[in-house]
Amino acid sequence: MTREGRLHVAVVGAGFVGTTLAAALVRRGCVVTIVARTRELSGASEVTYAWLNSHRKRPEAYQALNQQGLRHWRTVFGPAHPEYVHWHGHTVMVSDRLHKGAVRERFDYLTSLGYPAEWTTAPSVGRELSIHVAPDAIAANFPSEGHCEPEPIRAALVEQLGLSGRCTWKLGEAVGVEDQSITLRSGARVGADRVVIAAGNGSSELLSSAGFDLPMVAQHGGGPAWGFLADARVPAHSLCRPVTTDRVNVRPTGPDALLVQALDVDEAAGPEVEIGQSLHEEYRLRLVELLGREDVEITRVRVGHRVIPADSMTVAGPVDGNPKSRVWTIVTHSGITLAPFLAETVAAEIVEEREDPALETFRPQRFAETESESAAPSAPRLPGEQ
Segment 243-269, tens digit of pLDDT: 999 999 999 999 999 999 999 999 999
End residue of a domain, out of 305, 325, 354: 305
Q: Which of residues 188 and 384 earns the better pLDDT score?
A: 188
> Both 11 and 67 in a single domain?
yes
Mean pLDDT for the stretch of residues 220-231: 93
Domain boundary among 288, 305, 322: 305
- Do 155 and 138 share a structural domain? no
Q: Contact at 8 Å (CB) between 30 and 353?
A: no
Residues 289 and 242 in one domain: yes
Neighbours of 119 (CB within 10 A): 12
pLDDT > 70: percent of the chain: 95
> Is the same domain home to 54 and 131?
no
Same domain membership, residue 133 and residue 169: no
6, 55: one domain = yes
Domain with 371, as residue range(s), is: 1-89+147-220+307-386
pLDDT of residue 41: 78
Residue 240 scores a pLDDT above 80: yes
Higher pLDDT, 43 or 224: 224
- Averaged confidence pLDDT in the chain: 93
Please enumerate in sequence order all residues whose Cβ is within 8 A of that of 341, keeping only pairs 6 or more positions apart, or say none: 65, 68, 69, 71, 72, 73, 77
Looking at the predicted structure, is the pLDDT value of residue 384 above 90? no
Output the pTM of the full model.
Answer: 0.94
Mean pLDDT for 35-46 is 82
CA 350 → CA 29, 303, 338, distances in Å? 11, 35, 18
364 pLDDT above the threshold of 60: yes
pLDDT at 371 over 60: no
Both 41 and 141 in one domain: the answer is: no
Q: What is the CATH number of the domain that holds 65?
A: 3.50.50.60
How confident is the model over 229-244, as a mean pLDDT?
A: 97
Identify whether residues 233 and 371 lie together within a single domain: no
The CATH number of whichever domain residue 114 belongs to comes to: 3.30.9.10
Q: Are residues 183 and 208 in the same domain?
A: yes
The predicted-structure confidence for 325-358, as pLDDT tens digits, reads as follows 999 999 999 999 999 999 999 999 999 999 999 9
Residues 166 and 203 in one domain: yes
How long, in residues, is the chain?
386
Same structural domain, 2 and 67: yes
pLDDT at 47: 81
User: Cα-flanking dihedrals φ and ψ of residue 300, to 5°?
Assistant: -165, 145
Of 251, 281, 305, the one marking the end of a domain is 305
pLDDT on residue 372? 45
Helices 16-27, 335-352: inter-axial angle, 10-degree rounding: 30
Q: Express each pLDDT in 122-173 by its tens digit.
A: 999 999 999 999 999 999 999 999 999 999 999 999 999 999 999 999 999 9
With contact defined as beta carbons under 8 Å apart, do 285 and 232 qualify?
no
- pLDDT tens-place string over residues 65-110: 999 999 999 999 999 999 999 999 999 999 999 999 999 999 999 9
Total number of domains in the chain: 2
262 shares a domain with 152 = no
Confidence band, pLDDT 50/70/90 cuts, at residue 226: very high
